[in-house]
Chain A
């Protein structure tokens, strides 16, 4: 279950990195949220898991309303992004399995991989919809990252993360060069 959830989250992140279309972005954020939610359940944080899943679903649904139409998975010139996806996943796996120790290997892998992938997505220049979705993904990942903490308020962090992630695609996009 852990492996599947971590793989789903990483796959969601990869789709966000490799796609430009609204459907693919929605699918990516949904998968990402579902995977992180599964990892939260695995870590014993049911409230956090529900919050993450809900936030991801809302973000995905809202994403379907705007952004470039279609899927646009791996459009022309996305080879570097594909290479980055593979390299990032491998390094994250190495860190989660070999470098670090303790429980929650899957969560460590997913959080590390997702943060790097989504940041790279933003750095490589993203259209507003993709950038917003990546930001939603980052929010959900940060929420999941709080589950690594011993103590504190991880569920609260997940709830806030879900709220931010869900609200993000709803924000108006303004590209005009006024003011």
Chain B
């Protein structure tokens, strides 16, 4: 019983403190603030007021916490053997739909968003089929030559999917007709989980020391920056171009990645 309590406490700490809520909120707010300042249109900074959180923020935060503890962050109290990439995928996948359920104004073109989400699922789980493992670090550590093409193609697909998943594209929800744009708290909550999961899956696992932590943080920030850059480019090219890219280019590319996955399976068997 004591052992169970100890384990529960460590997992609770992971959810609430590191790498959970207390970690992802400030980093997410910082990243969102950077995006707000660089993105055309809405230079909005967060206004910190002590009040009851909105239910949509609570739901997204819970899911983000769950996803975050599955990531391969150094010093993660959750043992590596107890992390599963499917939990991360499900939790992050649910965040978009929690927004649609609780605040539809946050979700533009849900149909296209689902297509992108399906491509993202392929990018995350496609490389897991051949190794037959769902441990994030194992997937990150895969350096078998025959699996490298799938891993690279999936990583690129992941990066392609991030801007829409983080709503960095210029497609505004039909209901979003505010004169004064507000700070996007829900996006702030999912910046870190998405980027940390990318780093966990497509880079070798980092050691549990300060150097590893620094390297991990650097990779996360680099991923965020690339995503912001892609988002900025998309915003400049306009909504129609973005829609065209994600409805006519990314899905065929995903089919290519899928073919690569199937081809790898066939070759290795």
The answer to whether any beta carbons of A and B sit under 8 Å apart in the complex is no
